[in-house]
Amino acid sequence: MSAAVTPDAATAGTVRVPVLAPGDRVPNLTLPDLAGRTRRLYREIVGGPILVVTVPDPLTGPGRAALDGLARHAGRIRSAGAHGFVLTRRPPADPDELGAQVWIDPYGDAMALFRPPLPNGGQSVASAAVLDANQRLVAIFAAEDHADPVSEAAGLVATVAAAMAAAPRDLDRTAPVLTLPRLLPDALCDRLAAVGAGRAVDDRELTQAVAQRLGARLGNEIRRVFQFRPVLRFEPFRVVDAAGAAGSTRGADEEYPRRRFVVLVGLTAGDAAPGIVFPEYGPHAYRLQQGAAAAFSCELLYRLEAEAPTPLFATILAEQPQQG
């Protein structure tokens, strides 16, 4: 990681590494362990939820308390099949009791990702974060807001693990679709839904907020999943009615040959969430709950479905023309 934070991020100051938001995918953190060996996050995990305990100071105060909590809950975390990591500036007193890998982050760049901002302009002095099996943030529990952040994180780890243990289903056909939970926060979804179906999103501030949130994750995920690296740009944002969409369609168009990916985001929750069906791959519907997104090739035939008028955010990613 190339970004940096202030030397003592627990005090007031300008933090230059933003904290992760729920749904964000953690980068491939690369740090030394206690033996000085270089470790890479993506190579240390083999499925299952992930617990990251962040303690700039592991020897005193909230940092030591968080590690004591990690030692108490080590068996519970291990039984859930979770991976445990500690990010810190210096070695803790009893690393063997933690049941987790301890990585040294002397500059605090990696830790800053898991330290929520404080009213004084600094960041949390200790936290416990839960990631899903795809390295996406589920929640962060900060010591300033929770008496025992590791205990609460361990409970969430068990919940995530239980959801992952649902009986698998054998599929003979499935469309090549990238699905992203929690891509947009609920507040942005509500504002987009208020635009009204069949209308373009023309509020500049809203457009910028949505583009910033989408761009931060979609580009990296598309490169990772589809190995597609050309520069992409958003076409105008729209809100459509999933129930009123006319039959099956494709995002590709001879008039717009540089269109590459359709992006759809659910704006409603529960049973009202719209579905996407890909007729070439069977009758199965991808249900988009509020904030969840689907991105797929413009060449795929797709159909929207909903039982009642249902707003759905839609845009297309097009390849930037090469200069010269």
C-alpha gyration radius of the chain: 22
Threshold 0.75, pTM exceeds? no
Q: Would you say 86 and 111 are in contact if contact means Cβ atoms under 8 Å apart?
A: no
Domain parsing of the chain, residue ranges:
30-164, 178-319
Provide the pairing of β-strand 83-88 with 50-55: parallel
* Confidence check: pLDDT of 91 > 60: yes
The tens digit of pLDDT for each residue in 227-262 reads 888 888 999 999 999 988 767 788 777 677 788 999
The tens digit of pLDDT for each residue in 93-107 reads 999 999 999 999 999
CA distance 46 to 69: 24
* Confidence check: pLDDT of 7 > 80: no
Residue 56: closest CA among 21, 16, 7: 7
| CATH class for the domain made up of 30-164 | alpha beta
The separation between the first and the last C-alpha atoms of the chain, rounded to the nearest angstrom, is 33
Half-sphere exposure of 165 (CA within 13 A, CB side): 11
The tens digit of pLDDT for each residue in 33-61 reads 999 999 999 999 888 899 999 999 999 99
pLDDT for 14: 45
Q: Would you say 309 and 190 are in contact if contact means Cβ atoms under 8 Å apart?
A: no
Helix (H, G, I), strand (E, B) or coil at 67: helix
Architecture of domain 178-319: Sandwich (2.60)
The tens digit of pLDDT for each residue in 158-187 reads 999 988 877 666 667 788 999 988 899 999
pLDDT for 215: 85
pLDDT for 174: 82
CA distance 63 to 125: 7
* Confidence check: pLDDT of 139 > 90: yes
For the chain, give the mean pLDDT.
88
Residue 250: closest CA among 297, 197, 313, 312: 297
